[in-house]
Structure 1
Amino acid sequence: MFTGIIEHLASVKNLSLKAGGGELFLDFSGFYDDLTLGESIAINGVCLTVKEISGKIVSFDVSSETLKKTTLGKLCYAESVNIERALRVGDRMGGHFVTGHVDGTGTIKGKKQSADQCTMSFSVEKKFTDIMIEKGSVAIDGISLTIVNLVDGAFSVALIPYTLSSTTLGFKKAGDPVNIEIDMMGKWIKRLLTNVQEKKGGITQEQLMEQGFL
């Protein structure tokens, strides 16, 4: 589990693709001198497991499913990626609960800079926007952000200068792909409503309370 608060940017040293998956090598120079084998780290929002540590180079296995559903398979040498270590009990919760299980990818539609912030818009599948809400949370390349505007198949977020300077969104441009993880609350509510509709019954306050939504 993660919070969507990016801690560092790492640099891609190599991505070795093969049948059934691949192996990603990242340069962790300058941070994390206490990494352990087997721990979970979010790479551009994708939860991966530390496989090997060789000095400042850390490697991760990447499954074929991950390569298919995320942007990791398109990473290039020296490209920067967002890094966040797993949440520990007692840590401050600065963003929202992010699982590291990416739902799919979206594309940057536009990037509009103003004096104090940048508004970035994204195109995604309609099934994603169907379970988003304005002012709700979304993880983009692992970054916890708040949805500003929302229409079918598109949404926008506002980025403060700190986010632009501390994450990969600062140098990404229109047309670039990004990883999208929908807030788990929206997914659970959609599942609950779907189950109720399939049973041809109405949803009650008791059912919402039972599932923890009230």
Structure 2
Amino acid sequence: MFTGIVEEVGTVRQIRRGRVSAVLTIEATRILEDIHIGDSICVNGVCLTVVTFDQSGFSADVMHETLDRSSLASLAPGAHVNLERAMAADGRFGGHIVAGHIDGTARILAVEKDDNAIRYTFSAEEALLRYIVDKGSVAIDGISLTVVYAKPDRFQVSVIPHTASVTVLGEKRAGDVVNVENDIIGKYVERLMNGAPAAGAQSNITRAFLTEHGYG
């Protein structure tokens, strides 16, 4: 599990492509201070497993499903990527629950200055937008961000200069594609509301109950 607070920006050193898979080698510094084979690293929002590492970087396998669903397939040597190690049990939870399991991609429609903030507007498919709500949380390339507004065909986030400067978001322009992970809580609530309960199980949670308690 991750928090969406990016620890550093790494650089893609090499991409070894298979028929429908790839191995990424990424140069890094800070995350190498405590890294082991089998560790989970969030790379532009995608949870990858460390298979090898040295003093200057690490390598991770990327399977077919991940390449199909994320923007990792478009990376090239020299590209910058957001990096975050898995959340430590004794660490601060600065963002929101990020699983590193990408739901899909969105395309940047506009990047606009707003005094000391930068507003990013994205277009996305309805399957993603249904879980994005005003003032809710969303992970963009692994960055925990707050939604300014959500409309039927687009959504917008606003970031402070610090976030833009210490992540790859500051390099993004209109037309670029980013990875999106929706708030996992919303997906579980929908599943529980629409799915049949286990045999013998009873639940008092209804749509009316959630609305009454501020979740409508």
TM-score in terms of structure 1 length: 0.90
- Determine the C-alpha separation between the residues in 2 that align with 1:31 and 1:64: 26
- Letter of the structure 1 residue corresponding to residue 11 of structure 2: S
The DSSP-based 3-state class of the residue aligned with 2:6 is coil
Matched, 1:131 2:163: no
Identical counterparts, % of pairs:
39
- Determine the C-alpha separation between the residues in 2 that align with 1:132 and 1:142: 15
| Cα distance change on mapping 1:205 and 1:58 into 2, 3 Å | same
Displacement of 1:179 after TM fit?
0.2
Residue 56 of structure 1: aligned partner: 56
2:205 paired residue among 196, 204, 207: 207
Displacement of 1:54 after TM fit?
2.5
Displacement of 1:74 after TM fit?
0.6
Between 175-184 and 27-36, the greater mean CA deviation after superposition:
27-36
Residue 175 of structure 1: aligned partner: 175
- Determine the C-alpha separation between the residues in 2 that align with 1:187 and 1:10: 30
Residue 164 of structure 1: aligned partner: 164
- Determine the C-alpha separation between the residues in 2 that align with 1:26 and 1:123: 29
Displacement of 1:71 after TM fit?
0.6
CA contact (8 A) 1:128 1:153 kept: no
Q: How does 1:50-199 map to 2 (within 5 A)?
A: 50-195=50-195
| Cα distance change on mapping 1:147 and 1:205 into 2, 3 Å | farther
Between 30-39 and 180-189, the greater mean CA deviation after superposition:
30-39
Q: Which deviations, in whole Å up to 9, do the C-alpha atoms of 1:60-86 show, x marking residues without a partner?
A: 000000000001111111111000000
Aligned-residue CA RMSD (Å): 2.0
The DSSP-based 3-state class of the residue aligned with 1:4 is coil
The DSSP-based 3-state class of the residue aligned with 1:164 is helix
Q: Which deviations, in whole Å up to 9, do the C-alpha atoms of 1:162-198 show, x marking residues without a partner?
A: 00101111010000000000000111122223226xx
Q: Which deviations, in whole Å up to 9, do the C-alpha atoms of 1:11-51 show, x marking residues without a partner?
A: 00011111231100001146523211110000000000000
Displacement of 1:128 after TM fit?
1.3
Residue 9 of structure 2: aligned partner: 9
CA contact (8 A) 1:131 1:190 kept: no
- Determine the C-alpha separation between the residues in 1 that align with 2:49 and 2:30: 20
Displacement of 1:129 after TM fit?
1.2
How many residues were matched structurally? 205
Displacement of 1:205 after TM fit?
8.0
Residue 34 of structure 1: aligned partner: 34
- Letter of the structure 1 residue corresponding to residue 5 of structure 2: I
| Cα distance change on mapping 1:153 and 1:105 into 2, 3 Å | same
Displacement of 1:206 after TM fit?
1.6
- Determine the C-alpha separation between the residues in 1 that align with 2:37 and 2:191: 35
- Determine the C-alpha separation between the residues in 2 that align with 1:206 and 1:30: 47
- Determine the C-alpha separation between the residues in 1 that align with 2:188 and 2:33: 37
